[in-house]
C-alpha cells in the first residue's frame, strides 16, 4: 500500500506537469517578447559585465498567487551602465535556447523580489544565460533550476 507522503508527492508531480510552464507564455506576442535585432548590440549585451543579480518570482499566467514551485522565476541583472535585463527560461521561450534575455523595464508588477547578490562585474550576461541552460524540462530543468544556477557565485 502506498504511503500518504508518496501519494502526496505523486499528486504534486502530476499537478506540476499539468500546469506546465508553457502557460507562462512563449515569448511570442506577449509582454516579454522584446528582441535586439542588431547583432553588434546583442553581442555587446551578452559580453556586458553584471554587477548585481536579483532573483524574482511571479505567479504563473492565469494564476493570481504563487504556490511554491507553481510559480515562475528569473534573474534580473544590472549592468555597469545601470540597465536591467531579465534572464529567464521557459518552454518555447526562445528559438535556439529556452533561456531568453529581455529588457527589465518590461517586467510587470507581478514579479516579486526574493534576494540579491553583488557580482561586482565578475560575470557577464552570457555567463548567466549559459548557467540557466539552453534546454527546458518542466520537472528536471525548469525556470527555478535555471534561476538557482544563475544565482550561484
Q: What is the pLDDT of residues 120-144, one digit of tens each?
A: 999 999 999 999 999 999 999 999 9
9 falls in which pLDDT band (50, 70, 90)?
A: very low
pLDDT at 122: 97
The answer to whether residue 34 scores a pLDDT higher than 80 is no
- Which domain covers residue 36, as residue numbers? 4-151
pLDDT at 36: 62
Average pLDDT, the chain: 81
The answer to whether residue 108 scores a pLDDT higher than 50 is yes
> HSE-up of 144 (CA within 13 Å, CB side)?
16
35 falls in which pLDDT band (50, 70, 90)?
A: low
**Number of domains the chain contains:** 1
The answer to whether residue 27 scores a pLDDT higher than 70 is no
The answer to whether residue 117 scores a pLDDT higher than 80 is yes
- Count H helices and E strands in the chain, helices first: 4, 5
The answer to whether residue 86 scores a pLDDT higher than 90 is yes
8 falls in which pLDDT band (50, 70, 90)?
A: very low
pLDDT at 83: 95
73 falls in which pLDDT band (50, 70, 90)?
A: very high
Separation CA 71–CA 48 (nearest Å): 29
Whole-prediction pTM value?
Answer: 0.77
- By C-alpha distance, which of 119, 34, 111 is closest to 79? 119
Burial of 88 (C-beta count, 10 Å sphere; 0-12/13-18/19+): buried
Amino acid at each position: 500500500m502506498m504511503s500518504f507522503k508518496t501519494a502526496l508527492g505523486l499528486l504534486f508531480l502530476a499537478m506540476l506537469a499539468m500546469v506546465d510552464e508553457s502557460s507562462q507564455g512563449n515569448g511570442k506576442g506577449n509582454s516579454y517578447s522584446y528582441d535586439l535585432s542588431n547583432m553588434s548590440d546583442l553581442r555587446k549585451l551578452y559580453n556586458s559585465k553584471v554587477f548585481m543579480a536579483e532573483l524574482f518570482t511571479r505567479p504563473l499566467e492565469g494564476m493570481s498567487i504563487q504556490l511554491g514551485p507553481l510559480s515562475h522565476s528569473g534573474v534580473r541583472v544590472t549592468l555597469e551602465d545601470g540597465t536591467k535585463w531579465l534572464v529567464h527560461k521557459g518552454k518555447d521561450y526562445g528559438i535556439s535556447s529556452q533561456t531568453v534575455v529581455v529588457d527589465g523595464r518590461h517586467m510587470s508588477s507581478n514579479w516579486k523580489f526574493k534576494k540579491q547578490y553583488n557580482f561586482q562585474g565578475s560575470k557577464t550576461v552570457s555567463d548567466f544565460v549559459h548557467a540557466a541552460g539552453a534546454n527546458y524540462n518542466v520537472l528536471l530543468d525548469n525556470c527555478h533550476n535555471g534561476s538557482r544556477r544563475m544565482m550561484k557565485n
